[in-house]
Amino acid sequence: METISVLKEREHQVFQKGKDDFDIACEKTSLAGSVSQRACVFCGSRVVLYPIADALHLIHGPIGCASYTWDIRGALSSGPELHRNSFSTDLSETDIIYGGEKKLESALLELIDKYDPKAAFAYSTCIVGIIGDDVESVCKSVESKTGIPVLPVHSEGFKGTKKDGYTAACEALFNLVDRGRTKRKLPQSINILGEFNIGGETWIIKDYYRRMGVRVVSVMTGDGRINDLKMARRASLNVVQCSGSMTHLAKKMEDAYGIPFIRVSYFGIEDTSDALYRVARFFNNNPDIMKRTEKLVRNQVRSIIPSLSEMKKDLVGKRAAIYVGGAFKAFSLIKALKHLGMEVVLAGSQTGSKEDYKVLREMCNPGTVILDDANPLELAKYIMEKDADLFIGGVKERPIAYKLGIGFCDHNHERKIPLAGFIGMENFAREVHQTVTSPIWQLVPRRASVLTPK
Amino acid sequence: MLLRHTHTDIKERKALTVNPAKTCQPIGAMYAALGIHGCLPHSHGSQGCCAYHRSTLTRHYREPVMAATSSFTEGSSVFGGQANLIQAIDNIFTTYDPDIIAVHTTCLSETIGDDVQQISDKAGKDGKIPDGKFVIHASTPSYVGSHVTGFSNMTKAMVMQFARSSGTPNGKYNIIPGFVEPSDMTEIKRVVRAMGIDPILFPDTSNVLNGPQTGRYKMFPDGGVTREELESAGDSAGTIALGPLASADAARALDTSLKVPCQIQDLPIGLSATDRFIDSLRKAAGVSVPDSITRERGQLLDIITDMHQYFYGRKVALAGDPDHLIPLVEFLVSLDMIPVHIVTGTPGKNFEKRILEITRDLPCKVNVKVGGDMFLLHQWIKNEPVDLLIANTYGKYMARDDDIPFVRYGFPILDRVGHSYFPTVCYTGGIRLLEKILDAILERLDRDAPEEKFELVL
């Protein structure tokens, strides 16, 4: 393992700052045969739409796609929980031969009759794209029979990357938003885009806006409700987090309804404050909002600083490796880690764009490894070379970090505590502290050679 | 009330599965392929399939799970996946350097009609497969069968594509353990060896998916059945296949093509099924059962004796895979428990018949459904409550909603540890299974006991 080589074709997706001329190749489909950490179009659509709790989510395909996405994302709902069930047309061989349209229609009708959802999403999987089911017209027919919006999600797995799945989800959302009848703008109002209420994060952010005096019309899609989405076109501003997933929708809403958008992050002190201030500045016709925002930020920061400083003492100088879905998340993480006195030695993403990687490069110290669409061998190699103390990633990365004997922090679907907002920064610091300072790492063979019984 | 949507009105559903009690073939094939030493499983389909399978296996075993993908695009779906697979084979051998690539198909590559045999032959002719390296493959369309079928297909593929008959007997027995935990595979090997038989066990995920923390990341862990062992499987004295659905096909194929006589057994879960397994080993080796195994049997029997009053008449609901459920239900019945609701998502002909035979003498009607789902099981439970639920992690929703003592069993288990280290097969595994069942029942007894009846000694 110590002598692993990087695939020749991947040379341009791996860079070491300071050493190489920087022109990263990214936004490519993964090389066939790579042990990629990436997923598919369906996965992208599914994670974006999943948190809409009062909608029916029916997965049209063989059983796997529904099984693997049954309640895997900790997107909390304050009310209905229909989204936490798994509904599938469970296509079998005969359906592949004769088509699955009838099955889809009868499944939709039966479920809508039983659960009375506010809308239904019908997700296409790979096979549906191949056998040529006309999901669009089935949805139309069911819609006319039931009177609720029935939205096709064109998420055939092979039609691109996870990013294309976000786009397909945005199209479905726009379809829904566009059904809103009232156009009159609501004063001082926003939509929150790209916030999925993992561990209750949406609730934290909504509370900040409430205290600032800004009205949140809809959240896409954390703790989402269909009726809120139908009101979304009445907002004055779209505030977009997790820009990879939702910028497409924000652009469409800008074109269609003239709603401007800003890209923000609610992760870390700087980014959260910046997000709230920018929203406050947007509504500068009401100076009270800015005053309230200043007060809010001041109080919030003051309340978390003591515990952050305490934890920072143990974390100063520790080295972190980051491998996340979207590059935007990596920016926030780097800032937050710097705040804790930590150094980022590896930064990578599954779906970053060229511009993203430029920003990443500027943010990182010389020697930092930057990678696009990495495989586990590359990750392990650089983590060992850089002697990282912490790895931040998703489900497939966790056991690799643990096998190498370093701390791990999930910054993906499996996180259990909210990492957004000021309180989220404190939670993040605690989580990092908890894993990095664990006594277990002293027992790991690499560091414990002295202690290991011969 | 997470599952507040479950209603008691049961209707036949034809077009719809709600809260599945199965998943698709490729993940079973991937799991089986991980049980070959130095093998990288390869998913011939879209990237998502591979990512989902790796995530699910990672969550269940808490170990790195490696597999590659053909990364299908729109182009490959129109023109076929040949170019992708050949490039993949080339890249995999160049970069990751496994000894074997085990390709399984997906709904996508099956439907567009990719012929993996022909593609890997071409890869060989084009010089993409280095000397001493191998590509094996199994057809695992997601719209047929379930994860168990995928496991079976890959198990058959690994032995049929390697096994040879040299004419010289190797004095060993082939044991196919079925879709069980790495810990179970270790236990089966231990018991077989204790009976004086030298086993070739395949697949073997022990030491692959329950490895130690070493401070090093090994892409190909130490465990797994070796290629040499698989080749030699054609010279074995016989094959014992555990679990008809997961293991019989491989055993029968060996029997037909290389004349290695096979017997198909239930998984050795519980007393009677383990008795049958031990008996067939005894006959195969022509030995008497060693004292060590007899003692383990006695210990299992002893626990049942000690605690039998707590099993009496308790109703149980179960969801899982047919190969596990049949011996498990048999075990429960022998404990004087009453399995009333039994669901599997995996299709198969004999399941309902066997369950009804096993439960024939029970004093009540038993609900059993092949191709059922967790939703149906929950509906049954709502209509007739139970004292214990045995299912994979997804059972926890029902357990919480209806406040049922719950034992996690099967695949996947996403929220507890232990399954990959402690077996539930054979006699000692039976002891652990009983411990888990008793813990759940007695914990409930303690919780619900009024203060004056809260007993120190149970």
Concatenating the DSSP letter of every residue in A13-75 gives GEEETTTS------SPPPPTT-------HHHHHHHHHTTBTTEEEEEESSHHHHHTTSS-S-B
- State both tokens at A56: 């029916």
Interchain contact, A35 vs B90, CB within 8 Å = no
Please list every residue in chain B whose beta carbon sits closer than 8 Å to the beta carbon of residue A128.
none
pLDDT at B76: 86
Interchain contact, A376 vs B66, CB within 8 Å = yes
Least Cα separation, residue B143 to chain A (angstroms)? 4
Residue A238 backbone phi and psi in degrees, to 5: -105, 125
Q: Which residues are CB-contacts of B333 (< 8 A; sequence separation ≥ 6)?
A: B339, B358, B359, B362
Verify that B217 and B134 share a domain, yes or no: no
Evaluate whether A8-24+316-415 and A41-162 have a shared fold.
Answer: yes
- State both tokens at A234: 């009445």
A43 and B52 Cβ atoms separated by less than 8 Å? yes
Q: Which residues are CB-contacts of B226 (< 8 A; sequence separation ≥ 6)?
A: B36, B37, B38
Please list every residue in chain A whose beta carbon sits closer than 8 Å to the beta carbon of residue B17.
63, 66, 87-90
Q: CA B69 to CA B67: how far, in whole Å? A: 7
Verify that B239 and B346 share a domain, yes or no: no
pLDDT at B391: 98
Verify that B36 and B124 share a domain, yes or no: yes
Verify that B338 and B224 share a domain, yes or no: no
Q: CA B280 to CA B197: how far, in whole Å? A: 12
- State both tokens at A44: 């992208």
Give the CA count within 13 Å in the CB-facing half-sphere of A376: 29
Name the residue range of residue B126's domain.
Answer: 25-160
* CA dist A231 → A311, A346, B15, B205 (Å): 43, 42, 34, 53
Q: Are strands A119-124 and A55-60 parallel, antiparallel or unpaired?
A: parallel
- Intervals of chain A under pLDDT 50: 1-4, 450, 452, 454
CATH of domain A189-298: 3.40.50.1980
Interchain contact, A29 vs B112, CB within 8 Å = no
Helix (H/G/I), strand (E/B), else coil: B304: helix
Of A161, A376, A36, A378, which Cα lies nearest the Cα of B88? A36
Least Cα separation, residue B186 to chain A (angstroms)? 21
Residue B369 belongs to a domain: yes
What is the interface pTM, i.e. ipTM, of the complex?
A: 0.94
Residue of A nearest to B52 (CA): A68
B21 and B319 Cβ atoms separated by less than 8 Å? yes
Best residue in A70, A90, A94, A114 for a mutation probing chain B (most B CBs within 10 Å): A90
CB pairs < 8 Å spanning A and B: 258
Q: Which secondary structure element, helix H or strand E, spans residue A442, and what is its range?
A: helix A440-443
Of A66, A130, A405, the CB nearest to B108: A130
Verify that B76 and B184 share a domain, yes or no: no
* CATH code for position B183: 3.40.50.1980
Q: Is the peptide bond before A221 cis (omega within 30 degrees of 0)?
A: yes
Q: CA B182 to CA B35: how far, in whole Å? A: 9
A442 vs B: CB within 8 A = no
Of A40, A127, A399, the CB nearest to B63: A399
Residue B260 belongs to a domain: yes
pLDDT at A1: 36
Least Cα separation, residue A36 to chain B (angstroms)? 7
Q: CA A166 to CA A310: how far, in whole Å? A: 39
Least Cα separation, residue A41 to chain B (angstroms)? 8
User: What is the mean pLDDT, run by run of 10 residues, along chain B of 458 residues?
Assistant: 76 89 98 98 95 95 95 88 95 95 97 95 96 98 97 98 96 97 98 97 97 90 97 98 98 97 97 98 92 98 97 97 98 98 95 97 95 96 97 97 97 96 98 98 97 94
Q: CA A121 to CA A143: how far, in whole Å? A: 11
Cα-Cα end-to-end distance for chain A: 25
Q: Which secondary structure element, helix H or strand E, spans residue A159, and what is its range?
A: none
Name the DSSP letter for residue A365: P
Verify that B272 and B376 share a domain, yes or no: no
B80 and B113 Cβ atoms separated by less than 8 Å? yes
Residue of B nearest to A7 (CA): B95
- State both tokens at B148: 């168990």
Least Cα separation, residue B401 to chain A (angstroms)? 13
Interchain contact, B17 vs A159, CB within 8 Å = no
Least Cα separation, residue A435 to chain B (angstroms)? 16
B106 and B26 Cβ atoms separated by less than 8 Å? yes
Interchain contact, B58 vs A107, CB within 8 Å = no
Of B66, B96, B143, the CB nearest to A91: B143
Residue B86 corresponds to which amino acid?
I
Least Cα separation, residue A190 to chain B (angstroms)? 31
A132 vs B: CB within 8 A = no
Of A30, A87, A398, the CB nearest to B71: A30
B28 and B152 Cβ atoms separated by less than 8 Å? yes
- State both tokens at B85: 């697979």
Verify that B194 and B132 share a domain, yes or no: no
Interchain contact, A85 vs B3, CB within 8 Å = yes
Interchain contact, A62 vs B56, CB within 8 Å = no
- CATH level 3 topology of A41-162: Rossmann fold (3.40.50)
Of B237, B260, B291, the domain-final residue = B291
Residue B10 belongs to a domain: no
Interchain contact, B51 vs A396, CB within 8 Å = yes
Verify that B69 and B141 share a domain, yes or no: yes
Locate tokens 């931040």: which residue? A392
Name the DSSP letter for residue B225: B
Please list every residue in chain B whose beta carbon sits closer than 8 Å to the beta carbon of residue A96.
107, 111, 143
Q: Is the peptide bond before B169 cis (omega within 30 degrees of 0)?
A: no
Name the DSSP letter for residue B421: T
Interchain contact, A403 vs B47, CB within 8 Å = no
Domain boundaries in chain A?
8-24+316-415, 41-162, 189-298
pLDDT digits (tens, 9 = 90+) for A264-317: 999 999 999 999 999 999 999 999 999 999 999 999 999 999 999 999 999 999
Q: Which secondary structure element, helix H or strand E, spans residue B60, and what is its range?
A: helix B47-61
- State both tokens at B264: 């198909």
Verify that B116 and B192 share a domain, yes or no: no
- Percentages helix, strand, coil for chain B (3-state, rounded to 5) are 45, 15, 40
Q: Domain tally for chain B? A: 3
Superfamily for the A8-24+316-415 domain: Nitrogenase molybdenum iron protein domain (3.40.50.1980)
Rg, chain B, Cα only: 23
A13 and A371 Cβ atoms separated by less than 8 Å? yes
- State both tokens at A291: 């005053």
